[in-house]
A and B are shown apart, each in its own frame.
Chain A
Amino acid sequence: MDSQENTDNNWLFEITPKNKFFSLNLKEVWQYRDLLLLFVKRDVVTVYKQTVLGPLWYLIQPLFTSITFTIIFNNLAGISTGTVPPFLFNLVGITVWNYFTACLTGTSNTFGANAGIFGKVYFPRLIVPISIVISNLIKFGIQFLIFIAFYIYYYAQGAAISLNAAAALFPLLIVLMGVLGLGMGMFISSLVTKYRDFTYLISFGVQLLMYLSAVMYPMALIKEKIPSYGWLVQYNPLAYVIETARYMLLNVGQISVFGLLYTFTVTVIVFLVGVLIFNKTEKSFIDTV
């Protein structure tokens, strides 16, 4: 009677030429949650293996970038950061920006860097970009610690800094940033499988984008100094995130409700488009990569 149960429609799954138009396949991702955690662990643990300073490298990088920025942009170019110490100002911008770029560049190389594994074994491909965003979140957490340390230091020195009540929403802001990086990264990773041009675009595009993202200057400044190009920054959702991060943590600049709504909308759209294209690519990328 066994064959009675196994009628033709009683299949566990089917392998077909195309994926459904839009499927996050979260159920499958959940089944592979252990793999997700192991990937995160691998990414965090192995990066600085066989280095003397180990995880200290996580701290050195933003620290020295902030020092350099402070010397160049504040001391040399004379960008004013108001009452806030320029070093702290830059440190917030850089830490948040670093998280975004790490997510973007990490995920944008998903297919390229994992072609070996992807070519041999199946697991939900989405695991890889998600694991990159999470492991970078851990790195961000470590880097955020030095911000806290310097915050306390400057506070003890009597600098005019204070947290804004909105700082409670800071984690949400970081999630927003991560999702935006993930969405853009997935989008680009899918294009890279066929058109390598995007690899080059991203490596220098990210650098240029930093200058348009209000990392080392307040958003108000660009409107004031070069109003004709101000729109470039104003239409950049990342600029709002960084400006808002500084508003929350240092209480400088202004929060723009419109800007945040705009950023949120862009993030949602980019993420959805990213997932869509990623889904379309993952089935047969191995033939073109």
Chain B
Amino acid sequence: MNKDIILKAENISKQYRLGQVGTGTLTHDLNRWWHQVRGKENPYLKIGDTNDRSTKGESDYVWALQDINFEVERGEVLGIIGKNGAGKSTLLKILSKVTAPTTGSIKSRGRIASLLEVGTGFNPELTGRENIFLNGAILGMTKKEITAKLDEIIEFSGCERYIDTPVKRYSSGMTVRLAFAVAAFLEPEILVIDEVLAVGDAEFQKKAIGKMQDISREGGRTVLFVSHNMAAVKSLCTRGVVLENGKVVYSGSIDSSINYYSEIFSQTFINPPKHINYNAKIAILDFCVKNNNDIIKPNTTILLGQKIKIELKILIRDYLDDLSIAIDIINKNGEFMSHLTNEDDGFYMYDLKPNIQKNITIVTSNLLFVPGLYSMNIWFGLSHNESLYEIKNFFSFEIEQSDYSKRTKSLPAHSKVYLPTEWTSV
């Protein structure tokens, strides 16, 4: 019972309005105000669906977060994980006071500083040194604090030579390093970090992760960390919270949270394909995936190094110029492994007349993803811009190790792509 709770979220919910803000907003505002004047409840708070982007909801309002409850102990590094659109970023925005929750409250015993996106508030005209002060102040440091740490910040960023040059002359990598350096020397009791590690080169990423480990271990600082990078989450966090469709579906040790998260993903692999028809300009008559000219069913095994052939039969309903197709291959952690488009092969579909049938065949090269579950989404659009049709989980498959790699042990699961090599010696 001797828990030292530093942060407590109670029944946090956040509602967003969908669609465009236009003249309708005024009517809603007036109606809301009128209800308020009469002492009634906000009429738009009642309706609203869970936040599932792929299905069309009933109302214009959705709950991005619903009844989120959690507690964080002092010195804990909490990883918040979830698929895209699960509500992670919304939660962090509320925690960092950027936006207010619709209901509920967050109670805190320490200052919260957020590191939502590095380089916030950098002014391109000012020099690196001036920006350190400006950015530090935006993040809540006083001039005195920054002056005391200035040398350390400059050294950590590795930008000494350019420190008195305007930031607009910096490469993007340098800007990010400088920005991260400022943020790394913040000293709030609670630090909120969102995906910053996705930037910079490998060396800097390593440095950044190391710095964050120092912050949380030695500094005894409480950190809330959101990332898609499961390796980073695993090495940094002590506890995890899994969000799905705006709700906390799991909370526990970081390892079990990551496992739970992977399971959510593998579940979606068994689900049937989900069709989204944007404007009825095309219809999908049939599709199949072949391996050596044999049709293969979803969820079957494909051997490492085999090729697959995707055959699509589509009906053009409306005149289309520059039909484009993109296929995403996703692993069970939701990471995008590959993005294939017709453009890659210099293949274009211009000037398609209505009411004709098109048969399209796509043959991949040897699949070299490491053994595991994979899923494909397919997207049809115009000029890689306007969406026409989409099939989520269009096809899922499992890759199994084959003699394509002659090693006797299995390929390590945390690696992603197998690269065939030739070895010789003289």
Answer yes or no: do A and B interact. Answer: yes
Are B109 and A34 within 8 A (Cβ)?
A: no
CA distance A176 to B26 in the complex (A): 33
Are B2 and A194 within 8 A (Cβ)?
A: no
Q: Residue B270 at the A interface, CB < 8 A?
A: no
Are B99 and A287 within 8 A (Cβ)?
A: yes
The one of A6, A32, A45, A121 in contact with B121, judged by C-beta atoms closer than 8 angstroms, is A121
Question: What chain B residues lie within 8 Å of A287 (beta carbons)?
Answer: 16-17, 99
The one of A17, A120, A288 in contact with B98, judged by C-beta atoms closer than 8 angstroms, is A120
Are A3 and B4 within 8 A (Cβ)?
A: yes
CA distance A32 to B17 in the complex (A): 33
A175 nearest CB across to chain B (Å) = 25
The one of B5, B95, B106, B137 in contact with A6, judged by C-beta atoms closer than 8 angstroms, is B5
Known contacts A15-B97, A42-B134, A46-B125; A121 and B3 CB within 8 A of each other: no
Contact with A along B173-202 (1 / 0, CB 8 A): 000000000000000000000000000000
Q: Residue B111 at the A interface, CB < 8 A?
A: yes
Known contacts A6-B109, A11-B108, A194-B25; A18 and B134 CB within 8 A of each other: no
Are A120 and B116 within 8 A (Cβ)?
A: yes
B178 nearest CB across to chain A (Å) = 16
Are B99 and A121 within 8 A (Cβ)?
A: no
CA distance A208 to B123 in the complex (A): 34
Are A38 and B100 within 8 A (Cβ)?
A: no
The one of B117, B125, B133 in contact with A120, judged by C-beta atoms closer than 8 angstroms, is B117
From DSSP, what is the main secondary structure of chain B's interface residues?
loop
Q: Residue A53 at the B interface, CB < 8 A?
A: no
Contact with B along A12-27 (1 / 0, CB 8 A): 1111111000000000
Question: What chain B residues lie within 8 Å of A284 (beta carbons)?
Answer: 99-100
Contact with A along B113-128 (1 / 0, CB 8 A): 0101100110101100
Contact with B along A34-69 (1 / 0, CB 8 A): 110111001001100110000000000000000000
Question: What chain B residues lie within 8 Å of A18 (beta carbons)?
Answer: 100
Question: What chain B residues lie within 8 Å of A14 (beta carbons)?
Answer: 105-108
Are A49 and B93 within 8 A (Cβ)?
A: no
B18 nearest CB across to chain A (Å) = 11
Q: Residue B327 at the A interface, CB < 8 A?
A: no
A191 nearest CB across to chain B (Å) = 11
Are B98 and A118 within 8 A (Cβ)?
A: yes
Question: What chain B residues lie within 8 Å of A32 (beta carbons)?
Answer: 137, 140
Question: What chain A residues lie within 8 Å of B123 (beta carbons)?
Answer: 42, 46
Q: Residue A2 at the B interface, CB < 8 A?
A: yes
CA distance A143 to B101 in the complex (A): 45
Question: What chain A residues lie within 8 Å of B4 (beta carbons)?
Answer: 2-3, 6
Question: What chain A residues lie within 8 Å of B120 (beta carbons)?
Answer: 116-117, 120-121
Are B143 and A34 within 8 A (Cβ)?
A: yes
Give the contacts of A70-121 with B (CB-CB under 8 A): 116-121
The one of A34, A39, A50 in contact with B142, judged by C-beta atoms closer than 8 angstroms, is A34
Residue of A nearest to B64 (CB): A287
B414 nearest CB across to chain A (Å) = 31
Give the contacts of B377-409 with A (CB-CB under 8 A): none
Residue of A nearest to B102 (CB): A17
Residue of B nearest to A16 (CB): B105
Q: Residue A123 at the B interface, CB < 8 A?
A: yes
Q: Residue B110 at the A interface, CB < 8 A?
A: yes
The one of A3, A17, A35, A119 in contact with B103, judged by C-beta atoms closer than 8 angstroms, is A17
Question: What chain A residues lie within 8 Å of B103 (beta carbons)?
Answer: 17
Question: What chain B residues lie within 8 Å of A228 (beta carbons)?
Answer: none
The one of B1, B106, B109, B134 in contact with A15, judged by C-beta atoms closer than 8 angstroms, is B106
The one of A3, A16, A46, A121 in contact with B138, judged by C-beta atoms closer than 8 angstroms, is A121
CA distance A50 to B102 in the complex (A): 45
CA distance A49 to B94 in the complex (A): 36
Question: What chain B residues lie within 8 Å of A16 (beta carbons)?
Answer: 100-101, 105
Question: What chain B residues lie within 8 Å of A157 (beta carbons)?
Answer: none
CA distance A283 to B102 in the complex (A): 10
A64 nearest CB across to chain B (Å) = 25
Known contacts A42-B134, A284-B99; A121 and B2 CB within 8 A of each other: no
CA distance A60 to B120 in the complex (A): 34
Are A194 and B137 within 8 A (Cβ)?
A: no
CA distance A122 to B25 in the complex (A): 26
Q: Residue A286 at the B interface, CB < 8 A?
A: yes
Residue of B nearest to A19 (CB): B100
Q: Residue B96 at the A interface, CB < 8 A?
A: yes
Q: Residue A207 at the B interface, CB < 8 A?
A: no
Are B5 and A283 within 8 A (Cβ)?
A: no
The one of B17, B21, B109, B137 in contact with A10, judged by C-beta atoms closer than 8 angstroms, is B109
Q: Residue B209 at the A interface, CB < 8 A?
A: no
Are A11 and B116 within 8 A (Cβ)?
A: no
Are B134 and A12 within 8 A (Cβ)?
A: no
- Chain B interface residues (CB < 8 Å from chain A): 1-5, 16-17, 21, 25-26, 29, 93-111, 114, 116-117, 120-121, 123, 125-126, 130, 133-134, 137-143
- Pairs across A and B, CB under 8 Å, 21 listed: A2-B2, A2-B4, A6-B4, A11-B107, A13-B107, A14-B105, A15-B94, A15-B108, A17-B103, A34-B142, A35-B138, A38-B137, A42-B123, A42-B134, A45-B126, A117-B120, A117-B138, A121-B96, A194-B21, A195-B26, A288-B21
What 8 A-B pairs are tightest by C-beta distance, nearest first? A122-B97, A35-B137, A283-B100, A15-B106, A34-B143, A46-B125, A11-B107, A120-B116
Told that A6-B109, A15-B105, A15-B108 touch, could you supply 9 new A-B pairs with CB distance under 8 A? A2-B4, A3-B2, A6-B4, A11-B108, A12-B111, A46-B126, A122-B97, A195-B26, A287-B99
